[in-house]
Amino acid sequence: MKKYSFDAVVFDLDGVVTTTAGVHAKAWKATFDEYLRLREKRDKEPFKEFTHENDYLPLVDGKPRYEGVESFLESRNITIAFGDAQDSVDKETVCGLGNKKNLMFRRIIKKEGAQVYLSTIALIKSLKKAGIGIGVASSSKNCQMILQSAGIEDLFETRVDGVVSVQLGLKGKPEADIFVTAAHNLGAQPSKSVVVEDAASGVAAGRNGGFGLVLGIARKDNEAELFKNGADIVVSDLEHINLKIIEKWFHRKPKPLFKTWQKRSAEEKIVNPSYSLSPKEVFFGKRRLVFFLDYDGTLTPIVSRPQLAVLSDDTREVLKQLSTKFTVAVVSGRMRDDVENLVGIKGLFYAGSHGFDIVGPQISMVKEEVRKAVPVISQVIARLKSELGAVEGLLVEEKKFSVAVHYRLVDEKKYLSKIRGTVNNIVGEYRMLRLMEGKKVFEILPDIDWDKGKAVRWIMQALGICWDEASVIYIGDDTTDEDAFRVVRTRGTGVLVSNKSQESAAEFRVSSVKEVKVLFEKVISPL
């Protein structure tokens, strides 16, 4: 069977696979309008009906049931007790209202049955035939009942729904938990998986999870909203999507930044108006600029040994000027204190060990989960030195939370197979570790759901920076930066540093560290 560039597709349920989104909307309206009428009669509050455009889509659609209730009530400045999941439908609590909506929904489905979108089913069957893993992820606790009602439960290899979310303690949309869990259940990484969603909160979840493709379905005339929240492609129906189109997406290459400085094609504007800004529009628009920068290969050239990658005085000066005007963070695979000392500029934000360790003005964070891996990393370092110590030119870089095996100075024809085999064997023995490959390096890290992309998002949240209020730029050169490119994509701008055209989730490309410096100089002194 042919090998494709992606391994799995995770579908939302309501509005994507089944036509039940309309049933949800109907049940929500009946529930809230009834409650608002009660408050009008009892509390003399003016009645304002629950509407599809102003209430359902932005406040409720795609969210777990009780979160949807809370979101809507908050928008109306209504405060009631949360209650618990066992509350009766007549109890005036968040859970009581949510349970009443669920009762109405189930009654409608039982009476009318669940219908499917034939184009979606056809796409699922074609993907399964090609060997692609198929999952369904939904906030609904009725997911299994709906699948069974529609007779399509056997199409999905995994189901992560509201019931599973409670069991596993998963966060709801726009957090990516349900989609990431579904991908992992299918044996796939989010970077090589697709999310298909029709709700703004769902496409935001796909983007936040760093999925390789976030595909939006605009059944509600909400193309702009889906693009704004992180969709890569938006279509009105899945009849417009096939295996070939998805495969082609995963082979996209960044455009040369300086050659396209002022250009934006008519086709790009149609595909995604905000995502296809020209570089000049990105850097000199009206939004606040926020820079996230890798270190090795971005601020300094790649060198034979990590300790030789010293920031030049002129680059440090330009970077210092940049930081006086804009927010600047350095996100590196190096240990945080190492990269902080190498850059040597106060007032910047530093994320070390691929984002596990973050510090900056008024913020600080170390992922607690990685501390458990420190003894294991020490064991791995000892194993690597023992089993590969005789390989001439091999460098084992010891870090606090990870270890890097550099083979840039090694005779690859003679030793690479042995190095790769040894590294794979060691990682395979420890369930809590994962392997990443970069430029002439194997990186062994704790296997937790954290990477440079999530570090970028954490810093933005800690600083209160909203995607739609800032122009977020991530610049990096290696495979470890792809996680950040995927999180930033469509909502910000990724810039790959590479002297050759290559596949990447970044939108633009510069050829060298020197061109990165030129870009900074342009931004600092636009005239």
Location of structure tokens 């696979």: 17
How far apart, in Å, are the Cα atoms of 232 and each of 126, 204, 269, 275, 280? 22, 11, 13, 8, 21
Catalytic (active site) residue 12: yes
The DSSP H or E segment spanning 10 is strand 8-11
Which one of the listed residues 7, 12, 61, 232 is annotated catalytic? Answer: 12
Q: Note whether 504 and 254 are within 8 A (CB).
A: yes
Strands 349-352 and 255-256, bridge-based pairing: unpaired
Instruction: Please name the amino acid found at residue 497.
Output: V
Tell me how far apart the alpha carbons of residues 408 and 305 are, in angstroms, rounded to a whole number: 8
Rounded CA separation 61/27 (Å): 12
Q: Active-site residue 314, yes or no?
A: no
Strand 193-197 to strand 363-366: parallel, antiparallel, or no bridges (unpaired)?
A: unpaired
Please list, in sequence order, all residues whose beta carbon lies within 8 angstroms of the beta carbon of residue 380, skipping any fewer than 6 positions away: 403, 426, 430, 433, 444
Cα–Cα distance between 106 and 213 in angstroms, integer? 32
- Two tokens at 151? 């007779």
**Helices 177-185 and 200-208, packing angle to 10 deg:** 60
Q: Which residues pair with 441 in a beta bridge?
A: 406, 438
Which residues on neighbouring strands pair with residue 300, listed in sequence order?
296
**Strand, coil or helix: 236:** coil
Euclidean distance between CA atoms 245 and 265, whole angstroms: 20
309/302 Cα distance (integer angstroms):
7
Is residue 259 exposed (0-12), middle (13-18) or buried (19+ Cβ within 10 Å)? exposed
Strand 233-235 relative to strand 8-11, pairing: unpaired
Residues designated as active site: 12, 14
